[in-house]
C-alpha cells in the first residue's frame, strides 16, 4: 500500500494521519514480518489491525538454488499459491555499464571483452567459479581502499563485509509471460496473471531480508527483467517503483526496466516524473528477423518503438540501453551489426550484448567467440558504446531468458561447452 492508501485506512479507523507514516516506515524501511512487529504503534491499534485481518504478506521463498558464481535463484510463492522466480546477483552482471548512472560509474572499470564473456560461459558450463574479490571484506585492505569515497569501514553495510561492492536483484512482474519470445524459457509458461504492486516490491523486501541488507549503506540495483513483461502490467509495475523509492529507499537511478517493445507502455513511461532507466529488448537489426524471434514485432515494429523511445526526456548523462541477445547464425553477423548502427544513429544509446543462454526445448545455438568479438567491435567502431553482459547463474537456470519456475526435483542445467 502507498502512503495515501494508508492515510485513508487510518482515517477510516479513527486514527491520526501520522499513524499512516509509522505503518509505511515499518513496512518498507524496517521491513517488519508482521503487524505485531510494528512497535511504534500502540498495542491496541496493532491488535485491532490484526483482528480485522490486516497482515504483512511478503512472498515466501520456498526454494533456493545457488550457482557456482554466487548467484541465487529463488522460487517465490504468493498468497494464492502462484510462484515466480527472483534472482540475487552479488556484484551484478555488468548491465548498468555505460548508462550514465551512479551504478554505471561503479562498474566503469569492469568492461568485459567478447573473449572474456565467452570464457565465462564456458567456465559456467564446466562448473568453474570465476575469480572475484575476497569474500572476507574485513581482511582485504585493498578492497576497502578501492572504495575511494572516504567512508569509514563502520559505514559500510552487509555486502562489504562479505567482500561485495554491490548486488543486483532481478524481479518478476507477472506469473509467466505472454510475449512469446522464441529464445526465452519463460515464454513456454504462457501467462497466468499479473503480480500486484505489493508482490513485485515484496520480492525485493524478501531478498533484502534474507541477506540482511542495510539500505543507505549497501548498494543495491534493481532490474525488472524477471518473468513477465512489466509494461503489460504497467500500473502495478509503476506503483511498485514508487513503493521501492519512497518506502524502501532505493533510488530510481538504480533501477532498470526492460521491455520487449510495448508501445503504449513506452509512451506512458515517457510521461512519468519518477521512473527507472529504460532497456529495450531489440534483439534484431530488422523487422523480418525480429518477427521470427519476437512475434510482438507484428504489432509494433522497430521504427515505431524507436520513435517512442526518443520521446523519453532523458536525465543528464542518462542513456537508453538496447539489449541484444546474440543467436548463432540468426542475428550475429556483420550485416546485422551494420543495420544496428544505422538504427541507433543519433540516439543517446548504449548496447548490451547478451550471449544467448541455452535451455531445453529451444532450438538455437550460441554465437561463436569470433562472431561476438566482431559484432562488438563493429558497434564500438561505429560510435555505439557496447558491452557484454556477464552470464550469471546459467548452471541453475537463473540467467537472462532462463526463468521457468524450476522446481526442486527437476534436473538443473546440463549444457555442453559454448561454441568457439
DSSP 190: -
Catalytic annotation, pick one of 15, 72, 85, 323: 85
* Measured distance CA(59)–CA(318) in Å, rounded: 33
Burial class, 114, CB count within 10 angstroms (exposed 0-12 / middle 13-18 / buried 19+): buried
Q: Is 30 strand, coil or helix?
A: coil
What element of type H or E holds 258?
strand 255-259
Does residue 85 carry a catalytic annotation? yes
Helices 369-381/334-344 angle, 10° precision: 30
Cβ density class 40-61: b for 16+ within 10 Å, e for less: ebeeebbebbeeeeeebebbeb
Nearest-10 crossing angle of helices 3-12, 18-28: 130
Active site residue 181: no
Residues 6+ apart with CB under 8 A from 22: 38, 40, 41
Among 403, 372, 80, smallest CA distance to 258 is for 403
Q: Which of 170, 181, 184, 400 is catalytic?
A: 400
Distance between CA atoms of 310 and 293, rounded to whole angstroms? 24
- Strand-pair category, 277-281 with 320-326: parallel
Q: How far apart are the first and last CA of the chain?
A: 50
Give the other-Cβ count within 10 Å of 139's Cβ.
10
Q: Return the active site residues.
A: 85, 400
Amino acid at each position: 500500500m502507498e502512503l495515501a492508501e494508508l492515510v485513508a485506512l487510518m482515517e477510516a479507523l479513527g486514527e491520526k494521519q501520522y499513524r499512516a507514516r509509522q505503518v509505511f516506515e515499518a513496512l518498507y524501511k524496517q521491513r517488519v514480518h508482521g503487524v505485531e512487529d510494528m512497535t511504534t504503534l500502540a498495542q491496541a491499534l496493532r491488535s485491532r489491525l490484526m483482528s480485522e485481518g490486516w497482515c504483512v504478506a511478503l512472498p515466501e521463498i520456498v526454494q533456493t538454488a545457488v550457482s557456482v558464481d554466487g548467484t541465487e535463484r529463488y522460487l517465490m510463492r504468493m498468497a494464492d499459491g502462484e510462484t515466480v522466480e527472483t534472482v540475487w546477483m552479488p556484484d551484478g552482471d555488468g548491465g548498468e555499464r555505460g548508462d550514465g548512472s551512479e551504478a554505471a560509474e561503479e562498474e566503469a572499470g569492469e568492461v568485459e571483452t567478447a573473449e572474456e564473456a565467452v570464457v565465462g560461459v564456458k567456465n559456467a558450463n564446466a562448473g568453474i567459479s570465476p575469480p572475484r574479490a575476497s569474500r572476507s571484506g574485513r581482511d582485504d585492505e585493498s578492497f576497502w581502499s578501492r572504495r575511494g569515497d572516504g567512508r569509514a569501514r563502520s559505514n559500510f553495510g552487509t555486502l562489504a563485509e562479505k567482500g561485495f561492492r554491490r548486488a543486483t536483484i532481478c524481479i518478476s512482474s507477472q506469473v509467466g509471460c505472454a510475449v512469446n519470445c522464441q529464445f526465452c524459457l519463460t515464454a513456454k509458461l504462457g501467462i497466468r496473471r499479473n503480480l500486484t504492486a505489493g508482490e513485485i516490491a515484496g520480492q525485493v523486501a524478501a531478498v533484502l531480508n534474507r541477506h540482511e541488507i542495510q539500505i543507505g549503506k549497501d548498494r543495491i540495483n534493481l532490474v525488472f527483467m524477471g518473468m513477465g513483461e512489466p509494461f503489460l502490467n504497467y500500473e502495478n509495475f509503476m506503483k511498485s517503483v514508487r513503493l521501492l523509492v519512497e518506502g524502501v529507499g532505493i533510488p530510481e537511478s538504480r533501477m532498470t526496466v526492460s521491455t520487449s517493445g510495448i508501445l503504449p507502455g513506452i509512451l506512458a513511461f515517457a510521461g512519468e516524473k519518477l521512473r527507472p532507466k529504460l532497456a529495450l529488448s531489440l534483439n534484431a537489426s530488422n523487422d523480418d528477423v525480429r518477427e521470427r524471434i519476437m512475434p510482438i514485432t507484428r504489432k509494433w515494429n522497430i521504427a515505431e518503438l524507436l520513435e517512442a523511445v526518443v520521446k523519453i526526456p532523458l536525465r543528464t548523462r542518462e542513456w537508453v540501453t538496447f539489449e541484444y541477445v546474440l543467436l548463432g547464425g540468426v542475428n550475429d553477423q556483420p550485416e546485422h551489426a551494420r543495420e544496428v548502427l544505422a538504427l541507433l544513429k543519433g540516439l543517446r544509446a548504449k548496447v548490451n550484448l547478451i550471449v544467448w543462454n541455452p535451455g531445453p526445448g529451444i532450438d538455437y545455438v550460441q554465437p561463436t567467440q569470433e562472431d561476438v568479438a566482431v559484432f562488438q567491435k563493429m558497434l564500438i567502431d561505429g560510435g555505439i558504446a557496447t558491452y557484454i553482459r556477464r552470464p550469471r547463474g546459467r548452471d541453475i537456470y537463473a540467467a537472462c531468458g532462463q526463468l521457468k519456475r524450476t522446481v526442486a526435483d527437476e534436473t538443473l542445467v546440463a549444457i555442453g561447452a559454448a561454441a568457439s
